[in-house]
Amino acid sequence: MSPPARLGVFGDPVEHSRSPVFHNAALRAAGIDASYVKIHVPPEKAAAAFRALPQAGFIGANVTIPHKAAALEAMDEADDYARRSGSVNTVVVQGERLLGFNTDGPGLVRAIREEFSVDLRDLRVILLGAGGGAGRAIAVQCAMESCERLVLVNRTLEKAQALAAELAPSFRSDRLVGPVERLQVIGFEEAALREQLAHADLIINTTSVGMRRTDAPLIPPSLLTPNLMIYDTVYASGRTRLLDDASAVGARCANGLSMLLHQGALSFEIWFDRAAPLDVMRGALMEEEV
Ligand code: NAP
């Protein structure tokens, strides 16, 4: 008999989610009598679905598109990072209460360290898609890490400007006396990108642009140079155009699978207050990938 469903991921759609594969492997490896399931919830039912978790005997849950902001609203309590990023991806059931966390930003920090052997806080970051949910979560993480520089790039400029106004206090310091501002906002114009890339180490893509071969490049390939690191949070099979263009010039690059893995491992740590069996989780994810 399979263990009872006591964890799951809420989403709409949710069929694509890879979380059950590595969470179930982790639960088995840790000898925990629970299984992790996909839970399809349309937006109008999200709040009620979160409130039903204690009654259903759940330990907790993950939350994916489009419910992360609604999840924050539904929590009785949320940690500082979840509140600042405006979203929750990890729920803990504590009696009748729901506690919210977000492991996307901390997961990215671990992924960057693993992929490039550097710490996010030491990098000058260009964030593409800073107006979206994932972009905001990563921008807040960069601010909390006080990374060297952060350039918010977004198609809708006002969204990135509003975010920059919120984050500005974290970048007001005399730590870096450099030639350029530590926090800046630009659109996708070539001249502005060229200027900022001259003072950058890492590009993070949080738009979903590039999965289709017909997508126009987010950044003109001629602006990419071998000294850059490129992290694309997209983790669907196949490479984005940005990663193809980056590897063609010899830049170091990685896709979002490592962030997916580490945000999941951090959720496990929050639910069970013990280290996640990371190798088991990675193995399960990679097995599914081939
Ligand atoms: P979202 O809230 O819908 O945000 C989408 C972002 O993409 C916005 O900034 C939007 O700009 C921008 N965008 C959309 N189309 C564009 C275009 N044609 N040109 C330029 N910019 C465009 O989505 P999200 O929830 O943040 O998710 C974004 C991506 O992050 C997804 O692909 C997802 O797979 C990935 N993600 C990965 C992980 C992981 O663990 N690896 C975790 C979370 C998310 P505007 O503001 O101008 O509309």
| pLDDT tens, residue order, the chain (290 aa) | 789 999 999 999 999 899 999 999 999 999 999 999 999 999 999 999 999 999 999 999 999 999 999 999 999 999 999 999 999 999 999 999 999 999 999 999 999 999 999 999 999 999 999 999 999 999 999 999 999 999 999 999 999 999 999 999 999 876 655 677 899 999 999 999 999 999 999 999 999 887 776 788 899 999 999 999 999 999 876 788 999 999 999 999 999 999 999 999 999 999 999 999 999 999 999 987 65
Q: What is the widest separation between alpha-carbon atoms in the chain?
A: 64
User: What is the predicted pLDDT for the residue at 176?
Assistant: 55
Q: How far apart are CA 29 and CA 251, in angstroms?
A: 37
Q: How far apart are CA 45 and CA 73, in angstroms?
A: 13
- Nearest ligand 1 atom to the CA of 256 is 41
Q: How far apart are CA 196 and CA 193, in angstroms?
A: 5
Report which protein residue has its CA nearest ligand 1's atom 22.
Answer: 207
Active site residue 68: yes
Question: β-pairing, 90-94 with 97-101?
Answer: antiparallel
Within 10 A of 237 (CB to CB), how many other CB atoms are there? 9
Distance 225 CA to ligand 1 centre (A): 24
User: What is the predicted pLDDT for the residue at 212?
Assistant: 74
Q: Which region, left, alpha or beta, applies to residue 225 given φ > 0 means left and ψ of -120 to 50 means alpha? A: beta
* Cα 60 off chain centre by: 19
Bridge partner residues of 122 (DSSP)? none
Beta strands in the chain (DSSP E): 5-11, 35-40, 60-63, 77-78, 90-94, 97-101, 124-128, 149-153, 183-186, 202-205, 229-232, 252-255
User: What is the predicted pLDDT for the residue at 40?
Assistant: 98
Distance 27 CA to ligand 1 centre (A): 30
User: What is the predicted pLDDT for the residue at 290?
Assistant: 59
Among 14, 155, 231, 241, name the best residue to mutate to test ligand 1's pocket (greatest count of ligand atoms within 8 A of Cβ). 155
Question: β-pairing, 149-153 with 183-186?
Answer: parallel
pTM: 0.95
Within 10 A of 95 (CB to CB), how many other CB atoms are there? 7
User: What is the predicted pLDDT for the residue at 175?
Assistant: 61
* Cα 228 off chain centre by: 20
User: What is the predicted pLDDT for the residue at 214?
Assistant: 79
Q: How far apart are CA 256 and CA 8, in angstroms?
A: 21
Distance 81 CA to ligand 1 centre (A): 19
User: What is the predicted pLDDT for the residue at 48?
Assistant: 96
Q: How far apart are CA 69 and CA 200, in angstroms?
A: 30
Report which protein residue has its CA nearest ligand 1's atom 8.
Answer: 132
